[in-house]
A and B are shown apart, each in its own frame.
Chain A
Amino acid sequence: DTGVSQNPRHKITKRGQNVTFRCDPISEHNRLYWYRQTLGQGPEFLTYFQNEAQLEKSRLLSDRFSAERPKGSFSTLEIQRTEQGDSAMYLCASSQQSPEAFFGQGTRLTVV
């Protein structure tokens, strides 16, 4: 499978715990994006990498959120001290030069 891969697919965590998600983009894509989607809403932009450089961060990305792409390949999104409001689907997407973004299947986070 050469698409965008995300894991885990599902994560249930207790409030206050830290979680980390991983995204493996399509291999030749230099751009990587993280989005968050809640029920009944469209995906909301969180952050964007071009190669290993994090070029943009949304205001939605509070201090508890951090994303890395250390070698310009896979990326991780960490949420510290999770809150119930963090429960959502976290989507990763990648692209090359074109505006079309290819999405992974997402990681569904439930904070209890």
Chain B
Amino acid sequence: DTEVTQTPKHLVMGMTNKKSLKCEQHMGHRAMYWYKQKAKKPPELMFVYSYEKLSINESVPSRFSPECPNSSLLNLHLHALQPEDSALYLCASSQDPGALYQPQHFGDGTRLSIL
């Protein structure tokens, strides 16, 4: 079982809906990440949070809004998404974003479908 928990596992939403994806880890990690993965492609980094502060935004459209309420939780708020945003959204965590050689541990993702 993965130590990074994501909910919901599946989400179907219309282009005008507002929804949120949630991620939780209890490994004491201080870096958390959101990735987007399209079918048969590798994960692509979206955001990095370090010590609960947004450190990296990989030029992600504003219809994706991340939030880190505390060191264990990470949310991704979705609004006015487009059909091309349908993908597997993965959350990951690591001990420290600047630490050498630290692996990232991934959750099983939320499968998002935009109608």
Partners in one complex: no
